[in-house]
Amino acid sequence: MKFFLFTFVGVHLLSLNSGKAIYKNDISQRTFQEIKEEIAHYGDVAKAIINLAVYGKAQNRSYERLALLVDTVGPRLSGSKSLEKAIQIMYQNLKEDGLENVHLEPVKIPHWERGEESAVMLEPRMHKMAILGLGSSIGTPPEGITAEVLVVTSFDELQRRAPEARGKIVVYNQSYNNYSRTVQYRVHGAVEAAKAGALASLIRSVASFSIYSPHTGVQEYQDDVPKIPTACITVEDAEMMSRMVSHGSRIVIQLKMGAKNYPDVDSFNTVAEVIGSKYPEQVVLVSGHLDSWDVGQGAMDDGGGAFISWEALSLIKDLGLHPKRTLRLVLWTAEEQGGVGAFQYYQLHKTNISKYSLVMESDSGAFLPSGLQFTGSEKARAIMKEVMNLLQPINITQVFSAGEGTDINFWIQAGVPGASLLDDLYKYFSFHHSHGDTMTIMDPKQMNVAAALWAVVSYVIADLEEMLPRS
């Protein structure tokens, strides 16, 4: 990931650890010790937020709000009527909650539908397979594609065996190392198989655990490579076919997919604010995405992240707190298609990039967080560590690296500090993009804690006398 760094004319950032001034100009001569003392004064406010969220009248509120939406609307695929219904419901919810400047910002988003789909093993025995077509995949002919299977465990193996792939269905049985590495097979598997002349590709689900559950997600075609249908299969079926071919069996599959791509449609990013009392033009952005895939309920990905972000502003409003900077909630649309709504938001608002102190996104579940992931200058990191010390009452104080998120990466790459929750990723990727992403896996007590952390961090950063320093 490429970054470029902002330089501020007339402002020289010096070492925090040395105790010298952070800014050496006519405006600010504050030492790091002074900033530490300023942050320490927020101890009582942090406790009040934690008490309200975890023990007070607001406990379980984010869970109950989320359950009502996802039980009413269900999954919210980009381009679907259910997503637009959810956006309109959230617009009304935020207005009724008493937040300020509630509005919708129009964007264009992709529209893809999976249709009916099936995969049946015909040889060496009959076996109906569980599959989920991958986002933006084309469909098969109505009669389907019936072909022999080539099983590979890596792109390297596919390249070595490319002559064998022509006219076949390529099955990827890659091992799961971590999500960022393994997801490349889902994203690029169809293109690499098509380069070798394959008729279709089936990818082992990118999941940390499986109970015969396919996991969908986005995939990408390449303009100069033929488009072939592509779907994910279960870990169990991928491993079984790998064993079968190792024993010399010939596998034949009939694949049918009714997937279709349609022209882009109108949608909205949903915005609400607590307007700053002293520097209203400066912003701390708090966010999650409202869209999901079309399976399960999208409760975890990313209903939980969206609703603890809403809850953060609710908690601050309920306590009568008025941060110096504006706290802006954005519920993104079409994140699952590659941050489509977030990119258009960035294009619209990037002229004010110098006014953004911190961009935050929760999109790794809303379970019990281990801490905060942060990307920014070392000076800003030192400040974030002091802020996280305010979370000692709930024993979550660590600051980790890698604060990036799909929807906030545009800002981070342009030099704005970014933060995300570090959550239980093993649990997250067990249910990610699957039928299992429902309210059943959400825990109200864990959501309370996540919301408290999110609210404390966003409020304190928004209320400090100075913005977070950039590199």
Cβ pair 407, 270 in contact under 8 A: no
What span, in angstroms and rounded, lies between the C-alpha atoms of 253 and 169? 8
Helix boundaries (H) for 55-104: 61-73, 81-96
Rounded to the nearest 5°, which phi and psi values hold at 430? -75, -30
What span, in angstroms and rounded, lies between the C-alpha atoms of 72 and 92? 15
Rounded to the nearest 5°, which phi and psi values hold at 155? -65, -35
User: Is position 335 annotated as part of the catalytic site?
Assistant: yes
Of 369, 131, 343, 339, whose CA–CA distance to 254 is shortest?
131
Cβ pair 297, 70 in contact under 8 A: yes
Helix boundaries (H) for 201-328: 235-246, 305-318
Compute the chain's Rg from CA coordinates: 24
| From 84, 117, 192, 335, the catalytic residue | 335
What span, in angstroms and rounded, lies between the C-alpha atoms of 247 and 245? 5
CA 460 to chain centre: 24
**CA distances, 215 to each of 212, 302, 427, 428, 443 (Å):** 10, 15, 14, 12, 22
For tokens 């604060």, the residue is: 403
SS3 assignment for 385-439: HHHHHHHHHHCCCEEECCCCCCCCHHHHHCCCCEEEEECCHHHHHHHCCCCCCCH
Positions marked catalytic: 335
